[in-house]
Structure 1
Amino acid sequence: MRQLILDLLPEAPPSLDNFVAGSNAEALTGLAAWLAPTNRESLFLLWGEAGAGKSHLLQASQCAYSDARRDPDLSTVEPQNDCHAVDHVEALDAAGQIALFNLINRLRASGGRLLAAASAPPRRLALREDLRTRLGSGLVYRLLPLSDAEKLAALGEQARARGLVLPPEAFSYLFLRAPRDMRSLAALLTAIDRYSLEQKRPITLPLLREVLQTSLDI
């Protein structure tokens, strides 16, 4: 189900501008300031539960991106880059933890920077103590998931930007039947827009049902 939805993700790559901040305006502002060329702070860590937007922001940073879930020993990290983004640091194995510790030290010495993301604050991560200390020594921000009201407002804004006219009950209908993270919901909105144009039909609950049946295999 989820893969079918992700296959419909909008073509626009993650950016700071298309991140739905919700209650995370302070973290977003802090990250934008950290990414500025004049910044001298070497480490920035985002933590929060799945779906809060950590991966979106790391990929939007334009730093060399690595995902510890796919590369737990960080064997694919390119050492020549002066800005690295390491996602899901809680998934690092023993070799990956040593590699990240050494990377942080090298970046500090060379004036480079590390952007990291984790599921919990540094002190609660099941990592080497010296690595936890390093990760906690920089800027640390928590990302909060969007509330349902914030998701509805964001989807409404995206619909208006597309010129879509949805029945009042449309979003409630989608919330009950689709994955409720913003990436999946935005993908569904894209699919609804395309399907409506292809079928030359207004967006109604029957049309939404058809899109869901096609997209979610329900």
Structure 2
Amino acid sequence: MRQLTLDLLPESPPSLDNFVPGANAETVAALTEWLAGSRPDTSFCLYGEAGCGRSHLLLASGFAYVDTALNPSLTGVGASEALAVDNVDQLDADGQIALFALFNQMKMDGGLLLTAAPQPPAHLALREDLRTRLGSGLIYRLQPLSDAEKAAAIATLARERALKLSPETIGYLLRHVSRDMRTLAMLVVALDQYTLEQKRPVTLPLLRELLSLEHDA
């Protein structure tokens, strides 16, 4: 039996359409308006706990994207009409100076700066002048999905593939798999593919079998 890993599964690029909003409908609507140029603010900050969808929305924006967890100094990042800076709380001293300068340049040029962090700008350990700049724009909190919202999202994804998942199967996924929607959505794709290959309906034994394939030698 061939080995199947999540890393090899096809994945849809993050978009506003495939983001599961849950309690974040107002935030997503405000972001959509801002991206369309309907709001005058230079910056838009999304904050919330890990797994709430911050990175998904930054990537979905279509802006030039930089993750400061990987590039804390913003090395090679120049002024842009549209820039998305993820994990802005991870900026080092040079990166904070660079983002401050970028913000000022983009404000003069009419650019848009989208940022994300675990906390709102006022609570971040950043330079005061940078906190002030980021705090002057739009600030929205992203709420994590509840278990019920995740279950509903999984059921919707399955229905779109004509895949029948029982509440018991969905509950098993939520208890035994990483609970972020990216992983859960990828598993629905994998489960659909696996049922077609095996020509068997979805059952808990089949789901356990699929999940065990990652660990097969």
Shift of 1:167: 3.0
Q: List per-residue Cα deviations over 1:35-60 (Å, max 9, x = no partner).
A: 01343221100000000000000000
Q: TM-score, normalised by structure 1?
A: 0.93
- Structure 1 residue aligned with 2:11: 11
**What aligned pairs does 1:1-218 form with structure 2 within 5 A after superposition?**
7-8=7-8, 10-79=10-79, 81-215=80-214
Q: CA, structure 1 residues 84+175, in 2 after alignment: closer, same or farther (shift >3 Å)?
A: same
Shift of 1:22: 0.1
Shift of 1:78: 3.5
In structure 2, what is the Cα distance between the partners aligned to 1:216 and 1:169?
23
Q: CA, structure 1 residues 111+187, in 2 after alignment: closer, same or farther (shift >3 Å)?
A: same
Q: CA, structure 1 residues 9+105, in 2 after alignment: closer, same or farther (shift >3 Å)?
A: farther
Report the aligned-residue RMSD.
1.5
In structure 2, what is the Cα distance between the partners aligned to 1:23 and 1:216?
36
Q: Secondary structure at the match of 1:7?
A: helix
Name the % identity: 59
Q: Secondary structure at the match of 1:99?
A: helix
Decide whether the 8 Å contact of 2:5 with 2:213 is kept in 1: no
Q: TM-score, normalised by structure 2?
A: 0.94
Q: Which moved more, 1:15-24 or 1:158-167?
A: 158-167
**Counterpart AA for 2:124:** L
Q: List per-residue Cα deviations over 1:77-116 (Å, max 9, x = no partner).
A: 133x200000000000000000001000000001111000
Q: Which moved more, 1:206-215 or 1:108-117?
A: 206-215
Q: Which runs of 5+ in 2 are unaligned?
A: none
Q: Secondary structure at the match of 1:169?
A: helix
Q: Secondary structure at the match of 2:22?
A: coil
In structure 2, what is the Cα distance between the partners aligned to 1:169 and 1:156?
12
Decide whether the 8 Å contact of 1:43 with 1:113 is kept in 2: yes
In structure 1, what is the Cα distance between the partners aligned to 2:95 and 2:120?
18
Q: Secondary structure at the match of 2:40?
A: coil
Matched residue count:
213
